[in-house]
Structure 1
């Protein structure tokens, strides 16, 4: 990724925090834990991609290995997509990571090649930008709290949910990674 180093390091920190939280979510058995492994892989992969090029330049083999890992994640998401619509988002995210890994593996100037639209923006990059910007907006709207409703008192066994079981934290994690994806696609 190219851009200001301070913004890149902030992106690295956010992606690492999201990946670490997703690892915590993997321990839960509820709906929040579903897909957490793929999201953890996504967070850590995005953190590696966001490291400023001035700090370290990784060899092409690392990016090809990343593309292979995310291809496997894409296949898993494709096979499980019929069980949950959220797995379709995992499929798009994993495919985007494959695309960005391959772009980073080849010469920097080659991603403005024959697939570029007007102004030099590759068509696939533009489509991914539209998708993740829309997902970001939708996730942000979902975080708006609903009006409180009167419910009965909690039962004796119900306590506050653990860190890995909080649906709003999982949504914040996904929102953070979608924003990071938009910023990384813009930097390509």
Structure 2
């Protein structure tokens, strides 16, 4: 990324922690054959869905959040050192899958569209980073200004929304182990995506 090295490492640390948390939730998520009534506070709960959501949808959300967080951490550190096609496949394919799923099925359509936008934004950012061969960081004014601006508005608004929901968790504070911590992770990734786009 284009910016102070310390900021890059802080962003990588925060997004890696968020991604690792969702990866842990994925590992400990209930078996889809188990009763859907079993309590499970997933990262999906932070998007306004109840913790008792269908296990398959909960695992899908956790996997998407883990990929997003760990991918942002890797991009913040590695940047253009990783070939653009690798980033494009890593984020573009899941983004297309979420887009198709959102169009074909009504279940949690808004959540899937958000993951599709996130994956496409990551793909776009990676391609812009690697547009100038030989550069490890972002170059100034890389990418399409209008598209970058639209994504900045989206992730800026999303971060404000996620922050508002975090403040309205039960008791008005973050409660570790409930919906508060997953929402904090989603807020971190929203801000991380905004920061990555801002440096383009």
TM-score clears 0.5: yes
* Aligned counterparts of 1:170 and 1:146: Cα–Cα separation in 2: 11
Secondary structure at the aligned position of 2:12 is classed as helix
State the match for 1:73 in structure 2. 94
Structure 1 length as normaliser, TM-score? 0.77
Residue of structure 1 aligned with 2:69, choices 27, 40, 43: 43
* Deviation of 1:162 (Å): 8.5
- The higher radius of gyration belongs to 1
Q: Is 1:169 equivalent to 2:181 in the alignment?
A: yes
State the match for 1:100 in structure 2. 125
* Aligned counterparts of 1:123 and 1:17: Cα–Cα separation in 2: 31
Q: Is 1:134 equivalent to 2:134 in the alignment?
A: no
The answer to whether the 8 A contact 2:166-2:183 is kept is: yes
* Aligned counterparts of 1:70 and 1:31: Cα–Cα separation in 2: 25
Structure 2 length as normaliser, TM-score? 0.73
Question: How many residue pairs get matched?
Answer: 162
Q: Is 1:83 equivalent to 2:107 in the alignment?
A: yes
* Deviation of 1:7 (Å): 0.9
* Deviation of 1:76 (Å): 2.0
5+ residue gaps, structure 2: 31-39, 44-57, 133-137
Cα deviation digits, residues 61-109 of structure 1 (max 9, x gap): 2x32111111111122113323212111101101101101111121165
State the match for 1:143 in structure 2. 166
* Aligned counterparts of 1:123 and 1:93: Cα–Cα separation in 2: 17
